[in-house]
Structure 1
Amino acid sequence: MNRRIALRHLALISGGLVLIPSCDFSSDDILAAYQNLKVTASQKSLLGVISDTIIPAGEIKGALNLEVPDFILVMVNDCFTKDNQEKFTAGLASFPVYVQETAGKMFESLSTKEKEELILTGTKLEGDDTAEGKARGNISYFLNSTKRLTIQGYMASEYIQTEIIPYSLIPGEYNGAVLITDLQKPHING
């Protein structure tokens, strides 16, 4: 290899290494997976905390364990109208401000009871034509949509449909010779 070319490459690499500390990699970039939404990674994690508050983990898996926030964002991205997507993202963006004004803390640092009460009061907010009223309406729309989609995504998950409530096709199997006392786990036909 030519010594001049090696020195040129060495100079370029060392110059690049000098510039790296000045680069800011801490920015909260918009997630590229959702083309119609302007959602950041921190907003997605907030959505995960909200969905985990709605259906927490206990004896069975919770909403966050079943990746329900991804389901919510895909449904909003693919199935909501443009206006509803804008209301959802505006509500998601203004929710931390609402939490700070109402509770005085970040949503993640609240107790479980405080989170539940805050979500419940947030779903009942009513908006009007003022800027503050529109923000309240967007927060209410966001929380109601999140609640509905959390339940839908949770109940439609593979874990629930196979392990908790086994799915069987209608009409199911028929065995007339089985006594009621011999029956096992009930199958929900759906």
Structure 2
Amino acid sequence: MNRRIALKHLALVTGGMALIPSCDFSSNDIISAYEKLQITVSEKDLLGSISNTIIPAGEIKGALDIEVPDFILVMVNDCMNAEQQQKFLTGLRAFPQYVKTQTGSAFSKLSDNGREEIIKEGLKAEEVENDATKFFLNTAKRLTIQGYMASEYIQTEVIPYSLIPGTYDGAVLISDIQKPRING
């Protein structure tokens, strides 16, 4: 191999290595799946943390495990008018500042009990400045519960869904029933 070419390549690699630490590869691009919402990845992660605080994982999967934040964003994108969408986004973007004002730290740094308390306080807030935050939290809570209960996981594994009522058997003891059935 030619020594000049090797030195040129070595200089290019060394220069590139010197520039890499100054580059910011953490892009916070707008997610394109939701046409009407201008939502970023970090905002979606915050919504995931909030929904996981509302329904955490335990013996069964939590809201984040069955991708409830995607359900929330689809419902807001498709089922709300422009004014409600804007109010939801305003509340979502104001929530980190609300948490910082109330607790002095970021939502992600709070303990599980601290997260629960700040969400409860936000739902009860009477202040006018927190109107968008309160709307956001109420909507997120309602859609988290709706998305969780309507998920395939809940409907097939936790509470089996039966489209039509089963057969009638009047001589069954309650203690013999294994799983509750939801009849549609």
> Which range, TM-score by smaller chain?
0.7 to 0.9
Deviates more, 1:25-34 or 1:103-112: 25-34
Task: For 1:51, give the aligned amino acid.
Answer: S
Please, what is the CA RMSD of the aligned residues?
2.4
Deviation at 1:125, TM superposition (A): 1.9
- Quote the residue 1:126 is aligned against: 126
Superposition map of 1:43-54 within 5 A: 43-54=43-54
Q: How does 1:12-161 map to 2 (within 5 A)?
A: 21=20, 24-128=24-128, 133=129, 136-161=130-155
Identity over aligned residues, as a percent? 60
Residue type of the partner of 2:134? S
**What TM-score do you get using the length of structure 1 for normalisation?**
0.81
Report the 3-state secondary structure (helix = DSSP H, G, I; strand = E; otherwise coil) of the residue aligned with 2:139.
helix
Number of equivalenced pairs: 172
1:39-64 C-alpha deviation (Å, 9 max, x unpaired): 11011001001000000000000000
- How far apart are the structure 2 equivalents of 1:98 and 1:185? 42
Give the secondary-structure state (helix, strand or coil) at the position aligned to 2:120. Answer: helix
Q: How does 1:5-16 map to 2 (within 5 A)?
A: none
Which position in structure 1 is the counterpart of 2:180? 186
TM-score by length of 2: 0.83
Give how far 1:146 is off: 0.2
Secondary structure in 1 matching 2:32: coil
- Residue 173 to residue 32, structure 1, CA distance change in 2 (3 Å): same
One-letter code aligned to 2:25: F
- Rounded to whole Å, the distance in 1 between the matches of 2:160 and 2:92 is 34
CA distance in structure 1 between the partners assigned to 2:118 and 2:180 by the alignment: 36
What do residues 156-186 of structure 1 show as CA deviations (whole Å, max 9, x unaligned)? 000000011101123322345x542654323
CA distance in 2, matches of 1:183, 1:146: 34
Post-superposition CA distance 1:22-49 (Å, at most 9, x none): 7643331111111111111011001001
Give, in whole Å, the separation in 2 of the partners of 1:188 and 1:141: 31
Over 4 Å off, 4+ runs: 20-24
Quote the Cα distance in structure 1 between the aligned partners of 2:143 and 2:151: 12
Change (3 A) 1:172 1:87: same
Counterpart of 1:141 in 2: which secondary structure?
Answer: helix
